[in-house]
Chain A
Amino acid sequence: MAVDADGAVTAPGPGSLDGQPDPRAELIQLLTPEGERADHPDYPLELTTDEVKALYRDLVIVRRIDTEAIALQRQGELGIWASLLGQEAAQVGSGRALTERDMAFPTYREHGVAWCRGVDPTKLLELYRGVSHGGWDPADHNFHLYTIVIGAQTLHATGYAMGIQRDGLVGENGEAAIVYFGDGATSQGDVNEAFIWASVFNAPVVFFCQNNQWAISEPLERQSRIPLYQRASGFGFPGLRVDGNDVFACLAVTRKAMQAARDGQGPTLIEAYTYRMGAHTTTDDPTRYRLATELEAWKLKDPVQRVKAYLVRTGSADAAFFEGIDEEAAQVGKRVRRACLEMPDPAPLAMFENVYGEPTALLREEREQYAAYLDSFVDEEAVR
């Protein structure tokens, strides 16, 4: 990579956008895009056929939820939607590596992780439909609320992990936290501060960066001149790059990193090398800033298709299995659609709730005044 006198990057940098990872970076892969198993000495992974099928089911269903949500947004039922298309393996692989007691901190795109944590997909829609800022109880799923301001949740996860240390739950029978963020977030001060905190306190937290190559319109080169996983070494903990479209590899590396964290070996940075196949959100238009050929190159690495290819190749699943999964996904899609359409708007006075543990006198007064104001329209209607 070269930088000209104006500071503009003139050559593709490491982790370039043609779908080919930087040759200097070792990409951990256990399942090739063609659906062939690969081995890695540090990440042995034994999966039964049923386990592979379960992962495939997750991948297909979370993609179906995503497709349904995009359609609902197009039809005006959601204000906006942040699609996970292309990132299913990174999310399902890492999500399925967690134990029930581990805690996950998502961005606003982790619908696949939410699925793995047992969050009802219709709850995700509440935020995007504009009926609530967060529809689930984090404690029910050990899955925190979505965070929209980029990177802020990395510090929360680190602090949570420091709490795990104080609770004496590192080591035998340990717990850990995992935090999701994107390539763009690595430029934020909060993320770098989280790296420092986690490092110096040896906190049981795994930093799971889905490098989907784009921060809205800004390519990875605008965030980093080195592969992102290499950042970790400067902070003093291990970093690695995994094929983010390989659900097996994402599962294996996350399992190992989480176990290391639980055991007291501190943080790991996982860079899941993937691609945002859709727009940043439904309001974005990626044709303004990236080439269609790039998407075509990544389609060949599709995270769902390669598992299907593996199941077919190994003779582990027949047509009836795939039809059954498609049918189940269609049912989930239908259920999500129906739940969205039936979702009531919150009552106007609900906005005065939960600002404090107990409403202040001022809040009570404002609430009463606004209720009276609303009633005045009802009276007018009645008079007519």
Chain B
Amino acid sequence: MTTLTLSKALNAGLRKALEDDPKVLVMGEDVGKLGGVFRVTDGLQKDFGESRVVDTPLAESGIVGTAIGLALRGYRPVCEIQFDGFVFPAFDQIVNQLAKMRLRSQGRVAVPVVVRIPFGGGIGAVEHHSESPEALFAHIAGLRVVACSGPADAYTMIQQSIRCDDPVIFFEPKRRYWDKAEVDTAGALAGALPLEAASTVAEGADVTVLTYGPLVRTCVEAAVAARDDGRALEVIDLRSLSPLDLPTIVASVRRTGRCVVVHEAPVTGGLGAEIAARITEACFYQLEAPVLRVGGFSVPYPPSRLEEHYLPDLDRVLDAVDRTFAY
């Protein structure tokens, strides 16, 4: 066990993947000499060379498009998109090309590309640097979409994503890059929780709180605070946003009868809507209250001086918990 920040844990996971498989490549803007704007790829180019850790020209469509080509040639590229809002120039390559190649080739062609995207707000950034576009990708069949929330998961999930033969959109909670935790860098990947599995991070019998990425920590803090009010929150870190680990979700909600879904992305058309519908179908007779959602408002991400109002915090999570008990 070693204590790592989330950023360093990703770095260690990428390093392990580069060591384990000579076909693994890292590519993106500023990932080489600079080590990425969040230092996730720090030192990798120095140790693995410019051929495997590639500083690309400034073009996101080019990054993903050429990664697809490299994958067609047998490589396993890990692309870095510098900030969430910069992924959109690559949208065609991801949605029309990356996601559909397996189907179009009748299963003959796999494109094991990982697209890493730092996402979410809370760092006081300018526009396009704080967004949560995960639902746009979860909507696309053929893509796996995952989000890590802490260092230990970051370390294993990035390796699992790279080993996965399907394309993976890998969301990293940028305001948690500096959070520290114990990481088992000696453990075998085979013993780790599967990539598509959710993880129950706090157990409780009263209400199920579903979340992922940066808000896992917020919801765990909310669970601690709720204990003082005599309420036991069961917090589940979804980890995989597509596919969803429905058995874990459904089992929990059938026990608690109440559910709150929490994400930074706007509630309108967000993942919470999909999750609420699935839960309603599977748990209709156990539900004591409608599934409630806590998330961003139906507005573009605001200027940073307002982001604390936009981002769900402990109080807004507990407010939703209160409301589920008001039914």
Binding site for B on A (CB under 8 A): 6-8, 79-80, 108, 126-133, 148-150, 184-185, 187-190, 215-218, 222-223, 283-284, 288-289, 345-346, 348, 350-352, 355, 360, 362-363, 366, 370, 373
Contacts and interface: CB of A to CB of B under 8 A. Distances in A.
Contacts of A348: 306, 309
A130 B124 contact: yes
Interface in B37-92: 37, 49-51, 55-59, 61-62, 85-86, 88-89
B309 A79 contact: no
Given A80-B126, A216-B30, A216-B34, 7 more contacts: A8-B51, A127-B127, A148-B129, A149-B89, A215-B29, A217-B55, A346-B306
Contacts of A79: 124-126, 304
Given A216-B34, A352-B297, A149 B124 contact: no
Nearest to A10: B50
A187 B58 contact: yes
Interface in B289-320: 297-300, 302-307, 309-310, 316, 319
A289 B33 contact: yes
A217 B305 contact: no
B286 interface: no
A130 B305 contact: yes
Contacts of A149: 85-86, 88-89, 128
Q: 8 tightest A-B contacts by CB? A: A130-B304, A6-B51, A217-B34, A187-B57, A184-B58, A351-B302, A79-B124, A8-B50
B248 interface: no
Which of A79, A127, A131, A360 is the most central at the interface, judged by chain B CB atoms within 10 Å of its CB?
A: A79
Contact of A345 (B86, B88, B305): B305
Contacts of B128: 148-149
B58 A366 contact: no
A265 to B, nearest CB: 30
Sorting the interface of chain B by its residue count into under 10, 10 to 19, 20 to 34 or 35 or more gives 35 or more
B268 interface: yes
A351 B297 contact: yes
A128 B298 contact: no
Contact of B310 (A7, A188, A351, A363): A351
Contact of A217 (B33, B57, B309): B33
Given A187-B58, A222-B55, A222-B57, A130 B303 contact: yes
Contacts of A189: 59, 61-62, 89
Contacts of B50: 6, 8
B33 A130 contact: no
Given A8-B50, A80-B126, A351-B309, A363 B299 contact: yes
Given A188-B58, A352-B297, A218 B29 contact: yes
B35 interface: yes
Nearest to B88: A149
Contact of B306 (A8, A126, A185, A345): A345
Contacts of B49: 6
A2 to B, nearest CB: 14
A373 to B, nearest CB: 7
Given A216-B30, A216-B37, A288-B33, A133 B57 contact: no
Interface of B: 29-30, 32-35, 37, 49-51, 55-59, 61-62, 85-86, 88-89, 124-129, 268, 297-300, 302-307, 309-310, 316, 319
Given A216-B29, A288-B33, A289-B33, A148 B126 contact: yes
A136 to B, nearest CB: 15
Contacts of A218: 29-30, 55, 57-58
Contacts of B88: 149
Contact of B299 (A187, A283, A351): A351
A65 B56 CA distance: 33
21 contacts: A8-B50, A108-B126, A126-B303, A128-B126, A131-B303, A187-B58, A216-B29, A217-B34, A218-B57, A289-B33, A345-B305, A346-B305, A351-B302, A351-B310, A352-B297, A352-B299, A362-B268, A363-B298, A366-B298, A370-B297, A370-B309
Contacts of A284: 37
Which of B37, B85, B88 is the most central at the interface, judged by chain A CB atoms within 10 Å of its CB?
A: B37
Contacts of B298: 355, 360, 362-363, 366
Which of B61, B300, B309 is the most central at the interface, judged by chain A CB atoms within 10 Å of its CB?
A: B309
Contact of A355 (B29, B58, B127, B300): B300
A146 to B, nearest CB: 9
A283 B298 CA distance: 30
A128 B86 CA distance: 18
A346 B307 CA distance: 11
B35 A131 contact: no
A131 B305 CA distance: 6
A126 B62 CA distance: 33
A250 to B, nearest CB: 24
A188 B30 contact: no
Contacts of B303: 126-127, 130-133, 346
Contacts of A185: 58
B124 A366 contact: no
A350 B306 contact: yes
B33 A366 contact: no
A83 to B, nearest CB: 14
A128 B30 CA distance: 22
Given A148-B127, A351-B297, A355-B299, A215 B304 contact: no
Which of A8, A80, A218, A288 is the most central at the interface, judged by chain B CB atoms within 10 Å of its CB?
A: A218
A80 B125 CA distance: 7
B48 to A, nearest CB: 12
A187 B55 contact: no
B297 A217 contact: no
A80 B49 CA distance: 32
Contacts of A363: 297-299
Nearest to B57: A187
A352 B306 CA distance: 11
Contacts of A148: 85, 126-129
A110 to B, nearest CB: 15
B128 to A, nearest CB: 5
A149 B128 CA distance: 8
Nearest to A285: B34
B310 A150 contact: no
Contacts of B62: 187, 189
